Amino acid sequence: MNIAVFASHNGSDLQALIDGCKDGKIKGKVCAVISNNPDAYALERAKNENIDNYCINTNLYPGKDEADEIILKILDSHSIDIIFLAGYLKKIGTLVLKKYEDRIFNIHPALLPKYGGKGMYGMNVHKAVIEAKEKFSGVTIHRVNEEYDDGDIIAQTYVDVLETDTPESLADRILEREHTFLVEIVNDITCGKIKI
């Protein structure tokens, strides 16, 4: 399967996917990386791996579907089968959502439906989990729709919240778990165990 990854920042999840494909743990290939942020380290990672990479700053396209049309052309040119959002902070436009219905996935660093939605990204998520004195947090992989963190949940894994945890220490432990979980679940998608 041909995979496109959308990422706005560091791209460690992207790296896990690239490595998973290279090691044969995922039956697929990361063919394109798209970011909205020209400074995203995710773009550097793609360059280092000779993966076609694109910076599409959606704010620069005032027309309703303009950015979407560009993104769709890129996806078509790589015959993309599935899209994975790995720390992508923009909403997906309606044209892309329609064409790739049920084939766009996102990873979220908490147990949705709690701790998701607008503003729930980065350290905000882990701060909220610790403030609520949760005993567990985790990772959710879900399909993407027009709302933030709202589509069908396809897989979750738990991570303990320790009494000594700070938002930062919890974030580190969850991110580490993401890297293995992501590979496992994307492989299930590419093998057909999870239907698209």
* Residues found near ligand GRF in the complex (CB under 6 A): 7, 9-14, 86-87, 107-109, 175, 178
Nearer to ligand GRF, 81 or 178 (CB): 178
Cis upstream peptide for 38 (omega within 30°): no
Min separation Cβ 5 and ligand GRF, Å? 9
Min separation Cβ 105 and ligand GRF, Å? 11
Min separation Cβ 64 and ligand GRF, Å? 26
Picking from 83, 11, 67, 16, the residue whose alpha carbon sits closest to that of residue 40 is: 11
CB distance 72 to 40 below 8 Å: no
Among 9, 108, 126, 142, the one annotated catalytic: 108
Nearer to ligand GRF, 100 or 105 (CB): 105
Q: Which residues of 162-179 are buried (b: 16+ CB within 10 A; e: fewer)?
A: eeebebeebbebbbebbb
Nearer to ligand GRF, 83 or 107 (CB): 107
Min separation Cβ 191 and ligand GRF, Å? 22
For ligand GRF, the nearest residue by Cβ is 87
The 3-state DSSP class for residue 174 equals helix
Q: What is the DSSP string of 5-65?
A: EE-SS--HHHHHHHHHHHTTSSSSEEEEEEES-TT-HHHHHHHHTT-EEEE--GGG--STT
Query: Can 108 be counted among the known catalytic residues?
Result: yes
Nearer to ligand GRF, 28 or 138 (CB): 138
* Residue positions annotated with a catalytic role: 108
